[in-house]
Amino acid sequence: MKKAMTISYEVGNNLYLNFTNKCPCACTFCIRNSADGAYGSDPLWLEHEPSLEEIWEDLDRRDLAKYDEIVFCGYGEPTERLDVLLEVAGELKARPGCPLLRINTNGLGDLVNGRSIAEELCSVLDVISVSLNAGTKEEYMKVTRPKFPEAFEAMQRFTADCVKTGNAQVMMSVVDVIPQEEIEASRRIAESLGAKLRIRKYDE
């Protein structure tokens, strides 16, 4: 019997959506390095990228209205499947009683897709959460290890573009394992772009 893939999984009162395992970064602290799942979920490694049909089949089994948020975030960078993300988010948004829609992204979707995607994302999502990860370019490149040399600048440009749309709440996040001065430097970056800084617990 074919084993079911984990397309959606619950974390607290939120539902997380796992559409891809592709990611342009290889973060030193990524949970993928040490576990097959997150927050007690079933394994999040996908045997193939789920089709729209498979995604809706999965979502239609859930009572979506009971969640506080639906979060595009799995074992990969959600903007690696931008078209699917936009289609699913757009349809969810059109449903009565749809919860808040959030994306957890590394902010490199412009580089992944070869164009600015802020307008498209902010037209269907309520919250954009960008992983800043560090307060300086040197530290960011060291811990995030992106395949794009201009990643630090592109991530900030994407964040500023999302803020400019005025359509979504925009935040940047760091993990609480970095030193306090790094957190303060991160706060300055976030605020300079018009975003709020969120400090995440490492085990989150």
Structure confidence by residue, pLDDT tens digits, 38-75 = 666 677 889 999 999 999 999 999 999 999 999 999 89
Q: What's the CATH architecture for 8-200? A: Alpha-Beta Barrel (3.20)
Tell me the domain boundaries of the chain: 8-200
Mean pLDDT of 178-201: 93
Nearest-angstrom CA–CA distance, 11 and 88: 20
Q: First and final CA of the chain: distance in angstroms?
A: 33
Question: By the 8 A CB rule, do 135 and 188 touch?
Answer: yes
Mean pLDDT of 136-161: 96
pLDDT tens-place string over residues 92-125: 999 999 999 999 999 999 999 999 999 999 999 9
Question: Which pLDDT belongs to residue 39?
Answer: 64
Identify the band that residue 37 occupies on the pLDDT scale cut at 50, 70 and 90: low
Mean pLDDT of 62-90: 97
204 has pLDDT over 60? no
Mean pLDDT of 144-158: 97
Torsion of CA 15, 8, 116, 48, to 10 degrees: 170
Which pTM value belongs to this model?
0.93
